[in-house]
Amino acid sequence: MKKIVLLFSTVLFIGGNLFAQKNDSLVIRNFSDDILVNGKAYENLRYLCKKIGARLSGSANAQKAVEATARMLKEAGADTVYLQPCMVPHWVRGEKEQAIIQTGNTKRALKVCALGMSVGTPAAGIKASIIEVKNYDELKSLGAEKVKGKIVFFNYAMRPELVEGGYGDAVKYRTSGPVEAAKLGAVGVMIRSVTHALDYNPHTGTTRYNDSVKKIPAIACSTMDAEWLQALLQKEKNVQFFMKMNCRQLPDVQSYNVIGEIKGSEKPAEIITMGGHLDSWDLAEGAHDDGTGIVQAIEALRAIKASGIQPKRTIRAVMFMNEENGLRGGHAYADFAASHNEHHIFAIESDEGGFGVKSLGIGGTPAQQEKLRSWLPLFTPYGIYGMPADGGGADIGPLRVLGTVMSSINPESQRYFDLHHAPNDVFEAVNKRELELGAVAMTAIVYLVSEYGL
Amino acid sequence: MKKIVLLFSTVLFIGGNLFAQKNDSLVIRNFSDDILVNGKAYENLRYLCKKIGARLSGSANAQKAVEATARMLKEAGADTVYLQPCMVPHWVRGEKEQAIIQTGNTKRALKVCALGMSVGTPAAGIKASIIEVKNYDELKSLGAEKVKGKIVFFNYAMRPELVEGGYGDAVKYRTSGPVEAAKLGAVGVMIRSVTHALDYNPHTGTTRYNDSVKKIPAIACSTMDAEWLQALLQKEKNVQFFMKMNCRQLPDVQSYNVIGEIKGSEKPAEIITMGGHLDSWDLAEGAHDDGTGIVQAIEALRAIKASGIQPKRTIRAVMFMNEENGLRGGHAYADFAASHNEHHIFAIESDEGGFGVKSLGIGGTPAQQEKLRSWLPLFTPYGIYGMPADGGGADIGPLRVLGTVMSSINPESQRYFDLHHAPNDVFEAVNKRELELGAVAMTAIVYLVSEYGL
* H helix or E strand, kind and range, residue A112: strand A112-114
Question: With contacts defined as CB-CB under 8 Å, which chain A residues touch B386?
Answer: 380, 385-386
Summarize the confidence of residues B377-405 as an average pLDDT: 97
DSSP H helical ranges for A149-279 = 166-170, 172-183, 223-235
Question: With contacts defined as CB-CB under 8 Å, which chain B residues touch A355?
Answer: 356, 412
Q: What dihedral angle (degrees, nearest 10) is formed by the CA atoms of B291, B292, B298, B303?
A: 160
Please judge whether A163 and B432 are an interchain contact, meaning their C-beta atoms are less than 8 angstroms apart: no
A313-320 and A267-277 strand pairing: parallel
ipTM: 0.94
Q: Could you give the CA distance from residue A333 to residue A330 in angstroms, rounded to a whole number?
A: 5
Predicted local confidence at residue A435, as pLDDT? 98
Please judge whether B437 and A418 are an interchain contact, meaning their C-beta atoms are less than 8 angstroms apart: no
Predicted local confidence at residue B16, as pLDDT? 55
Predicted local confidence at residue A9, as pLDDT? 42
Please judge whether A32 and B434 are an interchain contact, meaning their C-beta atoms are less than 8 angstroms apart: no
Calculate the average pLDDT of chain B: 95
DSSP H helical ranges for A236-390 = 292-307, 328-339, 366-373
Summarize the confidence of residues B285-296 as an average pLDDT: 98
Question: With contacts defined as CB-CB under 8 Å, which chain B residues touch A196?
Answer: 432-433
Q: Could you give the CA distance from residue B40 to residue B75 in angstroms, rounded to a whole number?
A: 10
Q: Could you give the CA distance from residue B258 to residue B273 in angstroms, rounded to a whole number?
A: 12
In angstroms, the Cα distances linking A132 to A135, A243, B196, B211 are 9, 16, 48, 71
- Compare B280 and A7 and report the one with higher pLDDT: B280
Of A21, A14, A16, whose CA–CA distance to A447 is shortest?
A21
The angle subtended at Cα B76 by Cα B74 and Cα B77, nearest 5°, is 70
Q: Could you give the CA distance from residue A49 to residue A68 in angstroms, rounded to a whole number?
A: 12
Percent of chain A residues past pLDDT 70, beyond the cut? 96
Please judge whether A160 and B382 are an interchain contact, meaning their C-beta atoms are less than 8 angstroms apart: no
Predicted local confidence at residue A13, as pLDDT? 47
pLDDT digits (tens, 9 = 90+) for A248-305: 999 999 999 999 999 999 999 999 999 999 999 999 999 999 999 999 999 999 999 9
Question: With contacts defined as CB-CB under 8 Å, which chain B residues touch A437?
Answer: 163, 414
pLDDT digits (tens, 9 = 90+) for A294-305: 999 999 999 999
Residues of A with CB under 8 A from a CB of B: 32-33, 36-37, 160-161, 163-164, 196, 355-356, 358-359, 380-383, 385-386, 388, 412-415, 418, 431-434, 437
Packing angle of the helix pair B432-452, B2-38 (nearest 10 deg) = 150
Nearest CA in chain A to B356: A412
Predicted local confidence at residue B18, as pLDDT? 62
Please judge whether B415 and A432 are an interchain contact, meaning their C-beta atoms are less than 8 angstroms apart: no
pLDDT at A73 over 90: yes
Q: Is the dihedral of CA A427, A432, A435, A440 positive or negative?
A: positive
DSSP string, B173-221: HHHHHHHHHHHTT-SEEEEE-S-S--SS-----B----TTS----EEEE
Q: How many CB pairs under 8 A join A and B?
A: 87
DSSP string, B297-324: HHHHHHHHHHHT---SEEEEEEEES-TT
Q: How many CA atoms lie within 13 A of A29 on its CB side?
A: 9
pLDDT at B2 over 90: no
Q: What dihedral angle (degrees, nearest 10) is formed by the CA atoms of A225, A227, A232, A234?
A: 150
- Best B384, B414, B415 member to test A by mutation, with max A CBs in 10 Å, is B414
In angstroms, the Cα distances linking B126 to B121, B150, B201 are 6, 10, 23
Non-local (6+) Cβ contacts of A159 within 8 A are A166, A169, A170
3-state class (DSSP) for residue B144: helix
Question: Residue A35 — φ and ψ, nearest 5°?
Answer: -65, -40
Distance of CA A89 to the CA centre of its chain: 17
Per-residue pLDDT band at A21 (split at 50, 70, 90): confident
Per-residue pLDDT band at B4 (split at 50, 70, 90): very low
pLDDT digits (tens, 9 = 90+) for A307-349: 999 999 999 999 999 999 999 999 999 999 999 999 999 999 9
pLDDT digits (tens, 9 = 90+) for B438-451: 999 999 999 999 99
pLDDT digits (tens, 9 = 90+) for A33-46: 999 999 999 999 99
Calculate the average pLDDT of chain A: 95
- Best A357, A382, A432, A435 member to test B by mutation, with max B CBs in 10 Å, is A432
Summarize the confidence of residues B24-31 as an average pLDDT: 98
* H helix or E strand, kind and range, residue B234: helix B223-235
Closest Cβ opposite residue A414 in set B37, B161, B431: B431
User: Do A326 and A249 meet the contact criterion of CB atoms below 8 Å apart?
Assistant: no
Nearest CA in chain B to A389: B380
Summarize the confidence of residues B179-192 as an average pLDDT: 98
Please judge whether B434 and A415 are an interchain contact, meaning their C-beta atoms are less than 8 angstroms apart: yes
Nearest CA in chain A to B355: A412
Alpha-carbon gap: A178 to the closest alpha carbon of chain B (Å): 29
The angle subtended at Cα A167 by Cα A293 and Cα A357, nearest 5°, is 35
pLDDT digits (tens, 9 = 90+) for A376-403: 999 999 999 999 999 999 999 999 999 9
B126-133 and B240-244 strand pairing: antiparallel
Q: What dihedral angle (degrees, nearest 10) is formed by the CA atoms of B317, B320, B323, B328?
A: -140
The angle subtended at Cα A163 by Cα A161 and Cα A168, nearest 5°, is 95
Question: With contacts defined as CB-CB under 8 Å, which chain A residues touch B388?
Answer: 380, 385
pLDDT at B10 over 50: no
What's the distance, Cα to Cα, between the start and end of chain B in Å? 33
A188-192 and A151-154 strand pairing: parallel
Which class for A220: exposed (0-12), middle (13-18), buried (19 or more C-beta within 10 A)? buried
pLDDT digits (tens, 9 = 90+) for A92-109: 999 999 999 999 999 999
Residues of B with CB under 8 A from a CB of A: 32-33, 36-37, 160-161, 163-164, 196, 355-356, 358-359, 380-383, 385-386, 388, 412-415, 418, 431-434, 437
Please judge whether A431 and B418 are an interchain contact, meaning their C-beta atoms are less than 8 angstroms apart: yes
Alpha-carbon gap: A355 to the closest alpha carbon of chain B (Å): 9
Closest Cβ opposite residue A163 in set B161, B164, B382: B382
User: Do A214 and A193 meet the contact criterion of CB atoms below 8 Å apart?
Assistant: no
Closest Cβ opposite residue A36 in set B37, B161, B386: B161
Residue count (chain B): 454
Report the range of poorest mean pLDDT among A1-10, A150-159, B231-240. A1-10
Predicted local confidence at residue B11, as pLDDT? 42
Question: With contacts defined as CB-CB under 8 Å, which chain B residues touch A413?
Answer: 356, 383
Which class for B182: exposed (0-12), middle (13-18), buried (19 or more C-beta within 10 A)? buried
Q: Could you give the CA distance from residue B28 to residue B375 in angstroms, rounded to a whole number?
A: 12
pLDDT at A14 over 80: no
Q: How many CA atoms lie within 13 A of B208 on its CB side?
A: 9
Predicted local confidence at residue B270, as pLDDT? 98
Q: Could you give the CA distance from residue A371 to residue A31 in angstroms, rounded to a whole number?
A: 22
Radius of gyration (C-alpha) of chain B in whole angstroms? 24
pLDDT at A15 over 60: no
Question: With contacts defined as CB-CB under 8 Å, which chain A residues touch B431?
Answer: 414-415, 418
pLDDT at A2 over 50: no
Closest Cβ opposite residue B36 in set A37, A161, A386: A161
pLDDT digits (tens, 9 = 90+) for B188-220: 999 999 999 999 999 999 999 999 999 999 999
Q: Say how many C-beta atoms besides its own lie within 10 A of residue A336's C-beta.
A: 15
Question: With contacts defined as CB-CB under 8 Å, which chain A residues touch B381?
Answer: 163
Question: With contacts defined as CB-CB under 8 Å, which chain B residues touch A383?
Answer: 163-164, 358-359, 412-413
Per-residue pLDDT band at A16 (split at 50, 70, 90): low
